[in-house]
Amino acid sequence: MKKIKRLGAIGDIHAEDKLLHNAVEFLNKQELDGIVSVGDIVDGSGNADACCELLNKEQMITVAGNHESWLLENILRDLPGATQLSELSKTSRSFLKSLPTTHQLETVAGLLLLCHGIGENDMIFLRPEDSEEDFRQCIELEPIIQENDYRFIINGHTHQKMVRQFQQLTIINVGTLKWNHGASFAVIDFENGYVQFYEFYLQGDFIGEAECISW
């Protein structure tokens, strides 16, 4: 597989099937080497089954989030908007069970780790407002830093867009498709060193450029 120059990235989906469809339709018209998803596909007000079907159909590189773990373990199913296993098709259930927790990709600027939180831990919060000391105290980052293999981490979980550099790493949080959390997605240009975020307006029928952040 050739090294990636430009990548579409979709954050926590939370069953927003309409916004997922619109984001994929938009990204498929861009000059990209692929599209990735950081998980949390289920648990929301939309149709989680339709989201699974689209991700599966598009063969999108997707990792599991904590909400997939909760669904498959049948815990916290009394949360507002929680997806029930009985609502999903057999194909969707198999798709969710098959998702890895991490995935590696080669970019033209170095190795990328796709995950939901940080590495194998899908519950780690790293936020835009966190200090450098907060990053230093994240024990999941320590082995990644020490091994010095990765140049990028793409993650989600917090629903907050972020591009932060910490030592050799550039950590890119691509936000969420959840409508009431500022629905957005991103195009990452590894060749030219920037992330272009896009936001949804008018109940998801219009997509506009948001901030563009360089590293």
Tens-place pLDDT, residues 184-208: 999 999 999 999 999 999 877 889 9
Mean pLDDT value of segment 28-42 = 97
Mean pLDDT, the chain, as a whole number? 96
Does the pLDDT of residue 89 top 70, yes or no?
A: yes
Mean pLDDT value of segment 97-108 = 98
Q: How confident is the model at residue 168 (pLDDT cuts 50, 70, 90)?
A: very high
What residues does each domain of the chain span?
6-214
Q: How confident is the model at residue 1 (pLDDT cuts 50, 70, 90)?
A: low
**Which CATH code fits 6-214?**
3.60.21.10
Does the pLDDT of residue 156 top 90, yes or no?
A: yes
| pLDDT for the residue 137 | 92
Q: Which residues contact 60 (CB under 8 A, 6 or more apart)?
A: 10, 24, 35, 36, 37
Strands in 129-168 per DSSP E: 150-155, 161-166
Contact between 183 and 199 under an 8 Å Cβ cutoff? The reply is yes
Tokens of 170: 């550039």
The CA–CA distances, whole Å, from 193 to 61, 163, 186, 188, 196 equal: 21, 11, 13, 8, 10
Tokens of 19: 């916004």
User: What's the pTM value of the predicted model, to 2 decimals?
Assistant: 0.96
Does the pLDDT of residue 91 top 80, yes or no?
A: yes
| CA dihedral sign, ordered 203, 44, 16, 102 | positive
Does the pLDDT of residue 162 top 90, yes or no?
A: yes
